[in-house]
């Protein structure tokens, strides 16, 4: 099973200018390496059979004849291979010469794709030798003993994906050919390039590739000329990139004096899911009906299994390491504050009320309130922090709750829920020694009642603290902590909550507050609804009951963002968490995730308002609309079969 992936390679052979025989030998070496590694499609640079920088040698018939002979030899070499090879070659057509990508598989030319935009400025003067596809009518050419179509309007369909081709300058056009190719069905774009080097150009070019990939919701494979090209006036550094929906999967070394081959796997299943979700893409595609495409079917080449070489991020919700991490954390935090600020201004409320437990979620919500009040020019005394000790409250969480509120300078109220809950147990005839779901949820609902009524007292707004991960698992008491007047953490998953609190601790506030925040981060996650153990430690640990949040956040991201099957979630999780979680542990919690995700939808169907901060939200008014009584049978059956 290939799980919807297609393994691709961008290769840069060493070349000699004007020596097709030598060049094809280098290409053959890379093809055999790629084939042995299970690559399905390999792309080489522009004019790689002759070298790009031949200049007026392109007028020499001997060079063109030798290029065709080299192509024949390459076809014979690949006759017994399933791999699709895409190679740059000059082709005599229409009374002139065209710069083409030759698509080859199993000893046969499947098509020739000519370059559309021919640069003729600065160091480029390709129009001296080559015609544009835009100036030619599509037609067949006799080459290598075959009649082969020469057309820029071709798509190549494999069992794994549909791909299209553009060449170098095509990408730099205001409307690249790849835009049309993608709208007509191409899921992967191949670019054969001869990009010259200049200071700062690589960053611009790689950004262009990522942006085009993101705009097209497509994979993009880029291979550009390298060592061996003429350096008479310019230098070619050998650039290779493999990108998926704007995300760089792999890039090769530049300025190498050796051949380069960059391999990764493009998740075509993910791309298809993104296109199904993005109605703008399909609406744009509908406008392309007047642009016919020829579909070329390739031979079957799907392998029974695929060995992934790409990294699988175990924490997809977390900002990537690097210089941009602080900026991304600040952006998320600011979005939360912006949302709350608008709601405060709109409702003209005088205060906000937050239940403070000394745990992660309420800590982040309180930090959002403090920053929002600062931005609005309001006194933090208008933030009413209410700590509500119950039967399971420990000294550690209680102390941290009080300390944090003191350090942030807010108004503190302490209201014990014990007597109210005991009275409630008497009212409904519940034994307080029976620590079941009634015992737990009564406490959660009592706390919510206090918050709501206190907000009424003080013309306030109850700020919710529950996070995205809890909503996904339904780990919230219906009409208890599930409810608020504005939920600032509603689209922030638990792994990101912890990360944001740590970032705030390191970047905002004094050392004393930082120490409190770090201790809160290190405290086990718990609703504290069951009495502590004999030593006063937390006995009810959430992750012991519902599973590790980093696993659940991983499942949540990939199931909602890409619509993956449980079997693919399992495969990816095994790779992402190798050495940390055993396969049976992953399977167990994946089953738990699927069961709870379906059974707890009714809680998500009536969520309070809250800001969306990232790519996923479970708001019924936002990303996720699901019937509360949908069946989980298919998902659970697949989990069982793993």
What the chain holds in terms of domains, given with CATH numbers, is 5-297 (3.60.110.10), 325-641 (3.40.50.620)
Q: What is the pLDDT of residue 230?
A: 84
- Among 74-78, 308-312, 530-534, 573-577, the range scoring the smallest mean pLDDT is 530-534
How many Cβ atoms from other residues are within 10 Å of residue 285's Cβ?
15
Angle at 389 between CA 386 and CA 395, to 5 degrees: 110
- Asked whether residue 292 carries a pLDDT value surpassing 90, the answer given is no
Q: Which of 151, 176, 158 is nearest to 166 (CA)?
A: 176
Instruction: Tell me how far CA of residue 538 lies from CA of 45, 90, 213, in angstroms.
Output: 61, 73, 48
Q: What is the pLDDT of residue 304?
A: 64
Unique residue bearing structure tokens 């070019």: 205
Q: What is the pLDDT of residue 134?
A: 92
Instruction: Spell 117-137 as b/e; 16+ CB within 10 A means b.
Output: bbbeeeeeebeebbbbbeebe
3-class DSSP state of 5: strand
- Asked whether residue 12 carries a pLDDT value surpassing 70, the answer given is yes
Q: What is the pLDDT of residue 622?
A: 85
- Asked whether residue 502 carries a pLDDT value surpassing 80, the answer given is yes
- Asked whether residue 73 carries a pLDDT value surpassing 80, the answer given is yes
- What the block records as the tokens of 303 is 């392998």
- Asked whether residue 283 carries a pLDDT value surpassing 70, the answer given is yes
- Asked whether residue 358 carries a pLDDT value surpassing 80, the answer given is yes
Q: What is the pLDDT of residue 538?
A: 65
Give tens-digit pLDDT for 181-212: 999 999 999 999 998 888 888 899 999 999 99
Q: What is the pLDDT of residue 319?
A: 85
- What the block records as the tokens of 553 is 């956040």
Identify the H or E element spanning 113.
Answer: strand 108-114
- Asked whether residue 300 carries a pLDDT value surpassing 80, the answer given is no
- DSSP tag of 409: T
Instruction: Report yes or no: 505 and 345 within 8 Å, Cβ to Cβ.
Output: no
In this prediction, residues 131-137 reach a mean pLDDT of 92
Instruction: Report yes or no: 241 and 206 within 8 Å, Cβ to Cβ.
Output: yes
Q: What is the pLDDT of residue 525?
A: 81
**Residue 324's Cα: distance from chain center in Å?**
16
Q: What is the pLDDT of residue 27?
A: 97
Count each helix (H run) and each strand (E run) in the chain, helices first: 20, 20
Percent of the chain clearing pLDDT 90 (strictly above): 82
Give tens-digit pLDDT for 85-108: 999 999 999 889 999 999 999 999
Cα 485 to Cα 353: distance, rounded to the nearest angstrom:
10
Cα 151 to Cα 468: distance, rounded to the nearest angstrom:
49
Give the pTM: 0.89
Q: How many residues does the chain have?
A: 642
- Asked whether residue 301 carries a pLDDT value surpassing 90, the answer given is no
Q: What is the pLDDT of residue 623?
A: 85
Percent of the chain clearing pLDDT 70 (strictly above): 97
Cα 38 to Cα 34: distance, rounded to the nearest angstrom:
7
- Asked whether residue 7 carries a pLDDT value surpassing 80, the answer given is yes
Using 50, 70 and 90 to split pLDDT, how confident is the model at 289?
low
In this prediction, residues 587-605 reach a mean pLDDT of 96
- Asked whether residue 401 carries a pLDDT value surpassing 70, the answer given is yes
Using 50, 70 and 90 to split pLDDT, how confident is the model at 531?
confident
Using 50, 70 and 90 to split pLDDT, how confident is the model at 497?
very high
Using 50, 70 and 90 to split pLDDT, how confident is the model at 325?
confident
Q: What is the pLDDT of residue 540?
A: 67
Instruction: Report yes or no: 444 and 333 within 8 Å, Cβ to Cβ.
Output: no
3-class DSSP state of 386: strand
Average pLDDT, the chain: 93
Instruction: Report yes or no: 472 and 497 within 8 Å, Cβ to Cβ.
Output: no
How many Cβ atoms from other residues are within 10 Å of residue 169's Cβ?
23
- Asked whether residue 636 carries a pLDDT value surpassing 90, the answer given is yes
In this prediction, residues 112-132 reach a mean pLDDT of 90
Q: What is the pLDDT of residue 221?
A: 98
Q: Which residues are catalytic?
A: 46, 115, 168
List, in sequence order, every beta strand (DSSP E) within 447-562.
460-464, 486-487
Identify the H or E element spanning 272.
Answer: helix 268-277
Cα 35 to Cα 78: distance, rounded to the nearest angstrom:
10
Q: What is the pLDDT of residue 536?
A: 66
3-class DSSP state of 230: coil
Q: Which of 35, 602, 601, 550 is nearest to 312 (CA)?
A: 550
């Amino acid at each position: 099973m290939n799980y919807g992936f297609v393994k691709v390679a961008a290769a840069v052979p060493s070349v000699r200018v004007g020596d097709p025989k030598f060049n094809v030998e280098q290409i053959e070496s890379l093809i055999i390496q790629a084939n042995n590694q299970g690559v399905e499609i390999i792309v080489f640079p522009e004019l790689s059979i002759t070298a790009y920088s031949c200049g007026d040698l392109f007028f020499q018939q001997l060079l063109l004849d030798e290029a065709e002979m080299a192509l024949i030899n390459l076809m014979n070499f690949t006759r017994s291979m399933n791999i699709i090879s895409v190679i740059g070659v000059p082709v005599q057509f229409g009374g002139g010469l065209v710069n083409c990508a030759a698509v080859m598989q199993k000893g046969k030319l499947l098509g020739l794709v000519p370059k559309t935009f021919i640069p003729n400025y600065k160091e480029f003067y390709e129009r001296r030798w080559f015609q544009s596809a835009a100036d030619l009518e599509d037609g067949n050419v006799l080459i290598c003993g075959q009649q082969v179509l020469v057309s820029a309007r071709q798509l190549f369909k494999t069992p794994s994906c549909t791909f299209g081709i553009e060449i170098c300058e095509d990408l730099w056009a205001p409307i690249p050919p790849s835009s049309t190719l993608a709208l007509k069905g191409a899921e992967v774009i191949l670019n054969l390039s001869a990009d010259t080097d200049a200071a700062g150009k690589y960053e611009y070019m790689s950004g262009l590739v990522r942006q085009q990939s993101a705009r097209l919701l497509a994979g993009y494979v880029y291979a550009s000329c390298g060592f061996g090209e003429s350096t008479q006036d310019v230098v070619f550094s050998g650039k290779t990139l493999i990108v998926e929906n704007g995300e760089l999967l792999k890039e090769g070394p530049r300025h190498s004096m050796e051949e380069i081959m960059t391999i990764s796997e493009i998740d075509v299943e993910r791309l298809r899911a993104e296109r199904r979700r993005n109605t703008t893409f399909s609406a744009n595609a509908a406008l392309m009906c007047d642009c016919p495409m020829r579909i070329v079917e390739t031979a079957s080449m799907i392998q029974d299994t695929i060995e992934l070489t790409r990294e699988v991020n175990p924490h997809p919700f977390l900002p990537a390491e690097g210089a941009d991490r602080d900026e991304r954390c600040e952006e998320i935090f600011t979005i939360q504050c912006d949302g709350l600020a608008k709601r405060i201004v709109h409702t003209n409320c005088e205060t906000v009320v937050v239940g403070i437990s000394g745990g992660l979620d309420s800590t982040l919500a309180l930090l959002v309130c403090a920053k929002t009040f600062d931005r609005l020019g309001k006194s933090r005394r208008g933030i009413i922090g209410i700590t509500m000790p119950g039967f399971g409250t420990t000294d550690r969480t209680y102390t941290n709750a009080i300390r944090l509120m003191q350090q942030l300078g807010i108004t503190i109220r302490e209201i014990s829920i014990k007597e109210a809950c005991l009275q409630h147990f008497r009212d409904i005839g519940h034994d307080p020694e029976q620590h079941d779901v009634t015992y737990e949820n009564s406490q959660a609902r009592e706390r919510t009642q206090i918050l709501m009524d206190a907000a009424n007292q003080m013309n306030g707004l109850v700020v919710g603290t529950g996070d995205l991960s809890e909503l996904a698992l339904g780990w919230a008491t219906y009409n208890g902590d599930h409810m608020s007047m504005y939920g600032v953490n509603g689209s922030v998953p638990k792994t990101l909550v912890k990360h944001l609190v740590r970032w705030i601790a390191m970047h905002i506030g004094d050392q004393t507050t930082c120490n409190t925040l770090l201790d809160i981060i290190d405290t086990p996650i718990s609703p504290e609804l069951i009495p502590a153990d004999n030593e006063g430690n937390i006995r009810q640990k959430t992750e012991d009951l519902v599973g590790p949040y980093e696993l659940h956040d991983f499942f949540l991201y990939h199931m909602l963002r890409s619509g993956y099957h449980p079997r693919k979630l399992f495969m990816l999780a095994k790779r992402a968490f190798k050495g940390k979680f055993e396969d049976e542990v992953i399977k167990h919690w994946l089953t738990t995730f699927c069961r709870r995700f379906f059974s707890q939808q009714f809680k998500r169907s009536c969520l309070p308002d809250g800001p969306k901060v990232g790519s996923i939200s479970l708001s019924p008014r936002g990303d996720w609309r699901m019937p509360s009584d949908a069946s989980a049978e298919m998902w659970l059956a697949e989990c069982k079969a793993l």
